[in-house]
Amino acid sequence: GEDVEQSLFLSVREGDSSVINCTYTDSSSTYLYWYKQEPGAGLQLLTYIFSNMDMKQDQRLTVLLNKKDKHLSLRIADTQTGDSAIYFCAERDSWGKLQFGAGTQVVVTP
Amino acid sequence: ETGVTQSPTHLIKTRGQQVTLRCSSQSGHNTVSWYQQALGQGPQFIFQYYREEENGRGNFPPRFSGLQFPNYSSELNVNALELDDSALYLCASSLALAGTGELFFGEGSRLTVL
């Protein structure tokens, strides 16, 4: 099974906040990432957090990291239709290898 | 725009054939890694190159091989193609092995094996 786990689907109304959750297993992870993938496209780096931080904010995005529980979340404020995509959580080990979750499909409804 | 470019964007091969995919890293990045993303799944790590040497490999057979060139561009070669090799192949570049958080992906090469 996956070392990184995410819920598969999230539906959110336009203007509301979205919260995507992720759990990981490698306590020695250096960085944790959130990527966005639109249909037929590659991976767009949204944000990342160093493992010794517990929060990072970047405009509408807020990342929370709970190292004790190995839990990572991404909050998108004021969700827009353009935020509809698949979101991947990934952990990076000390060698630089990324381990991805299966992705969370976010659907934004009017 | 990540500065990571991949070619070709799409290609179709038949079982048993060989394929070469190419990646040009972001300027200044000396580490490149390759991932395979099957339909409906997250990307899976194939291998990583740092300063022209393989520096880590995932659970892929030897018929998956790679090269990194002095200008840090890279190739992924797959021999004896199988139907299950159909996937999006993604290249990612970064500065050093894990020294900074920035890790950028290209748009990918979509391979279909018939």
- Which of A30, A43, A92 has the CB atom closest to B105's CB atom? A43
Helices (H), chain A: none
Cross-chain CB nearest to A96 (options B88, B97, B104): B97
pLDDT tens profile B57-99:
999 999 999 999 998 899 999 999 999 999 999 999 988 755 6
B93 CA: distance to closest CA in chain A (Å): 10
Rounded Cα–Cα distance for residues B90 and A50 (Å)? 23
B101 touches chain A (CB under 8 A): yes
Nearest C-alpha in A relative to B10: A40
Q: How many CA atoms lie within 13 A of A26 on its CB side?
A: 20
Which of chain B's residues have a Cβ under 8 Å away from the Cβ of A45? 2, 102-105
pLDDT value for B99 = 61
How far, in Å, CA of A88 to CA of B8, rounded? Answer: 24
Please, are residues A67 and B14 in contact by the beta-carbon 8 Å criterion?
Answer: no
pLDDT tens digits, residue range A42-64? 999 999 999 889 999 999 999 99
Helix (H) / strand (E) containing B39:
none
- Taking an 8 Å cut-off on Cβ atoms, the answer to whether B55 and A4 are in contact is no
Q: How far is A31 from chain B (nearest CA, A)?
A: 6
The predicted-structure confidence for B25-47, as pLDDT tens digits, reads as follows 888 888 999 999 999 999 999 99
Question: Which residues contact residue B108 at a Cβ distance below 8 angstroms, ignoring those fewer than 6 apart?
Answer: A41, A42, B6, B9, B37, B88, B89, B90, B91
A vs B: CB pairs below 8 A: 78
Question: Token match 């839990």: residue?
Answer: A71
Record the tokens describing residue A25, joined without a space.
């297993």
Does the structure show a pLDDT above 90 at A105?
Answer: yes
- What share of chain A has pLDDT > 70, as a percent? 98
The Cα of B109 is separated from the nearest Cα of chain A by a number of Å equal to 9
Q: Which residues in chain B are closer than 8 Å to A8, comparing Cβ atoms? A: none
Distance CA B65, CA B95 (A): 22
* Half-sphere exposure (Cβ direction) of A67: Cα atoms closer than 13 Å: 13
